[in-house]
Structure 1
Amino acid sequence: MRVLVIGGTHHVGRALVETALRRGDTVTTLNRGLSRAPAPGVEALVADRTDPDAVRLALSDQTWDAVIDTWAWAPNVVRDTARLLADRAGHYGYVSSRGVYAWPWPTGADESAPLVAGDPGSRDNADYAAAKRGGELAVIESFGERALLARAGMILGPYEDVGRIPWWLRRLQHGGPVLAPGPADAAVQYIDAIDMASWMLTAAERGIGGAFNLAGPPGHTTIGALLETALEVTGSNAELVWAPAEVLEQENFLLGMEFGLRYPGDSHPTGLHDADVSAALAAGLTLRPLRETMADTWAWLQREGDPAPRPDAPSPAQWFDPDQERRVLDLVRARDHT
């Protein structure tokens, strides 16, 4: 296919570009040209996404089989681009989020669960959920059944710039006793950015439209398996010490919130890691083994160093305090010996 990736330098965008090139697609990217050099073989177009005239000039009169848009902010930007490309692209894939569902998320919810309100013309960057829903509506407005809405769960894998797995890999690398957010058998749903990219490109090729929850099936893995696998790929001798969610809540230690395992006042929230993803699986979604995701992320960190954190993502300093970890470690070990 001829594919236009809007973005293409960070996390999902970079995974999309590299996956498309491996497939043999002809790839064009559109971004500000400020982050990374274009991948070899990519036609790199440069424009400020928030300037419709600049985007129009950069895209010229080209056509594409598929567009994939990774924009995560004001919906009016998606609306302007989708309108511009409505007659020049056969398919528009939008990287959305399970955040578009109204909170609290029902247990086992599929794509029919209630949604937040969204406005495709909104210029508001502050409300992530409303912005993503507005972006969905903007794509539907111009592409209708040719629009694919990829409602991703927690996105992991190489190039992650949110600060979850890269932080944990570095923490485990340092060794010693490491407080882990328990219970170890708590279910975790995630999607590897590479698996997501492969599925979105194949869906575009097959002309699949509509909304899909994207994550592994419920029960696919646990926080224990995830962190033990991370420990294994680093080759570290660190010791995972599992803290019950109730203890972390009692001590006001935010550990575990980075994985959505709990929230303040709710030690065991439902709906976060048990979404119904049967529609995506039926439409061809496949998942790499967890160890491949962890190993590829670790190899990337060693090769390129720690990524600059996204400005809209909470920094580890906001949810992790070494002194507090030591205090809670002592508390958990004391409980284990009584």
Structure 2
Amino acid sequence: MRLLVIGGTSFVGRTIVGEALGRGHEVTTFNRGLTGKDVDGVEALRGDRSTGEGLRQLDGLVFDAVIDPGGVVPAHVLRTARALAGSAPFYAFVSTTAVYRTWNTASVDESTATWPGVADEEGDPADFEKLPFHKRGCELAVEQTYGPDACLIARAGSIVGPHDNLGQLPWWLTRTAEGGRVLAPGDPGRGLQLIDVRDLSAFVLDQVEAQAGGIHNAVPDGPNTTMGRLVGNCVQATGSNATPVWMDEGFLFSQGVQPWAELPLWIPDVPDTAGLRAVSGTSAKAAGLRTRPFGESVREVWEWLRSGGEVRTAPGTPPFGLSGDKEQQVLAAWDSREK
């Protein structure tokens, strides 16, 4: 197939490009050339879809499908979809489960209500507070232009893997590699749903090759690891002497420790977040999503980091991780509490 990948230089896009080339497809990337090098073997086009003029490089080109792994501004995605509707019969968009409005239910599936979105809305791609609204607007831009049968909407959850551009799993690996007592949050048996970027990419390409339209939660069909196994896998992969100190969530909150931001991937056990551990992946599994053992992802992310891999976050992305000073303060407070 002849594929056009919007972006294609960072994390999900980069992995999709690599997978597509490995399958023998002809890949053209379209980006501004700002976030990284294009993968060897692609035809690289430069442009900026924030304006109509910025899409001129695509005039007259024909593709079998478009893959858009990182669109955030609805108007940009709408402009892209309209520009390509006559020259590419299928459009695959990687969205996020953050588009769902309610997370206090036992299960979240594709029928769960989403936040409202506007297909032609402009916005700041670094405005993460509006991400759920903007991603839903991007979905609508694709759906309204292509129709439901000629587009794929893959709603990913938390993504891990080599070339990570967020840094959640890399933070845990780097911290455990330092050794010593490591602050660990809540119940070690708390389930997590994490997808490897390579499994997500393979799923997207499978659907593109089949020209199979639809909306899928691209997540494992149920928890595929726990917080305890995640930390344990990190200790094992790094070969460190790190010892996790599991603290109850009430204590962590009393110390001002922030879930997700300071302790990445920690989802508190409160009613408002119950659905974050129970996103249905049934539809994607039925469509062919296959997921590797999570411990394999941890080992290979560590290998990537050791070989010189570096987390390169997008502009405006807040950093993840607890500072060393604050961790020591919380550990000292925990020790005092137990005496």
With the shorter chain as reference, the TM-score category is: over 0.9
Give the secondary-structure state (helix, strand or coil) at the position aligned to 2:183: strand
Closer, same or farther: CA 305–202 of 1 in aligned 2, 3 Å: closer
Tell me the equivalent position of 1:157.
161
Tell me the equivalent position of 2:59.
60
Counterpart of 1:132 (choices 124, 132, 135) is 135
Distance 2:133 2:72 in 1: 9
Tell me the equivalent position of 1:289.
293
Tell me the equivalent position of 2:256.
252
Please state how far the C-alpha of 1:245 moved relative to its aligned partner.
Answer: 1.5
Closer, same or farther: CA 208–333 of 1 in aligned 2, 3 Å: farther
**Bigger Cα displacement from structure 2, 141-150 vs 252-261:** 252-261
Tell me the equivalent position of 1:217.
221
Distance 2:109 2:61 in 1: 37
Give the secondary-structure state (helix, strand or coil) at the position aligned to 1:29: strand
**Bigger Cα displacement from structure 2, 79-88 vs 217-226:** 217-226
Counterpart contact for 2:163–2:309, Cα < 8 Å: no
- Percent identity, aligned pairs only, is 37
Please state how far the C-alpha of 1:73 moved relative to its aligned partner.
Answer: 2.4
> Is 2:186 the counterpart of 1:182?
yes
Counterpart amino acid of residue 3 in structure 1 = L
> Is 2:115 the counterpart of 1:116?
yes
Counterpart contact for 2:259–2:266, Cα < 8 Å: no
Tell me the equivalent position of 1:143.
146
Closer, same or farther: CA 260–49 of 1 in aligned 2, 3 Å: farther
Please state how far the C-alpha of 1:182 moved relative to its aligned partner.
Answer: 2.1
Please state how far the C-alpha of 1:192 moved relative to its aligned partner.
Answer: 1.0
Gaps of 5+ in 2: none
Counterpart amino acid of residue 103 in structure 2 = P
Please state how far the C-alpha of 1:334 moved relative to its aligned partner.
Answer: 4.9
Gaps of 5+ in 1: none
> Is 2:52 the counterpart of 1:48?
no
Tell me the equivalent position of 1:31.
31
Distance 2:247 2:286 in 1: 37
Counterpart amino acid of residue 31 in structure 1 = N
Please state how far the C-alpha of 1:24 moved relative to its aligned partner.
Answer: 1.2
Per-residue displacement from partner, 1:262-292 (whole Å, max 9, x unpaired)? 29xx487211111111000000000011122
Counterpart contact for 2:259–2:267, Cα < 8 Å: no
Tell me the equivalent position of 1:208.
212
Tell me the equivalent position of 1:237.
241
Distance 1:270 1:66 in 2: 37
Q: Paired residues, what number?
A: 332
Map 1:264-303 to 2 at 5 A.
266=270, 269-303=273-307
Distance 1:307 1:297 in 2: 11
Per-residue displacement from partner, 1:160-216 (whole Å, max 9, x unpaired)? 111201111111111111101121111101111110000000011112111111111
Distance 2:15 2:324 in 1: 33
Counterpart contact for 1:149–1:211, Cα < 8 Å: yes
Distance 2:323 2:33 in 1: 36
Counterpart contact for 1:262–1:269, Cα < 8 Å: yes
Closer, same or farther: CA 207–105 of 1 in aligned 2, 3 Å: farther
Counterpart amino acid of residue 2 in structure 2 = R
Please state how far the C-alpha of 1:3 moved relative to its aligned partner.
Answer: 1.2
Counterpart of 2:268 (choices 238, 262, 270) is 262
Tell me the equivalent position of 2:327.
325
Tell me the equivalent position of 1:6.
6
Please state how far the C-alpha of 1:293 moved relative to its aligned partner.
Answer: 1.0
Give the secondary-structure state (helix, strand or coil) at the position aligned to 1:270: helix
Give the secondary-structure state (helix, strand or coil) at the position aligned to 2:134: helix
Counterpart amino acid of residue 134 in structure 2 = A
Across the aligned residues of Structure 1 and Structure 2, the Cα RMSD in angstroms comes to 1.8
Give the secondary-structure state (helix, strand or coil) at the position aligned to 1:45: strand
Counterpart amino acid of residue 89 in structure 2 = G
Counterpart contact for 1:166–1:306, Cα < 8 Å: no
Please state how far the C-alpha of 1:42 moved relative to its aligned partner.
Answer: 0.6
Give the secondary-structure state (helix, strand or coil) at the position aligned to 2:307: helix
Give the secondary-structure state (helix, strand or coil) at the position aligned to 1:271: helix
